[in-house]
Amino acid sequence: MSQRSELAERRAQLRLRSAQLREQVSHQMHVTQPIFRAADRVREGASWVKSNPAIILLAGAAVLGAVAARPKAVVGLGLRAWTGWQMFQRVRPIANAFLRQFR
């Protein structure tokens, strides 16, 4: 076999391997993309908190005031919020499956 044909064959093998690796990376990126999106949202939230510290302090003071004034009401509200969150978590997969039919 001549050196040119060997090089051409090696080049074809490398191109095939490169295409396979690109496909692998693309598939792996679909898996990690939601993680990166969540990290971006956390970073954006942290920068918002840094740029608006007065609002955070005001909200914290309001919550502490509510707890001090009516602790049973706050606990009841917290339990209702937790129950609502649990219901939302149970209904979300059903709603997503239903909405997928219209896409």
Domain-wise residue ranges, the chain? 1-51, 55-103
pLDDT score recorded for residue 35: 84
67: Cβ contacts below 8 Å, ≥ 6 apart = 74
pLDDT score recorded for residue 79: 94
49: Cβ contacts below 8 Å, ≥ 6 apart = 56
74: Cβ contacts below 8 Å, ≥ 6 apart = 63, 66, 67
Asked whether the predicted pLDDT for residue 61 surpasses 90, the reply is yes
40: Cβ contacts below 8 Å, ≥ 6 apart = none
SS3 70: coil
pTM here is 0.42
Helix (H) / strand (E) containing 49: helix 3-51
- Tell me what the mean pLDDT of segment 27-37 comes to: 82
Asked whether the predicted pLDDT for residue 31 surpasses 80, the reply is no
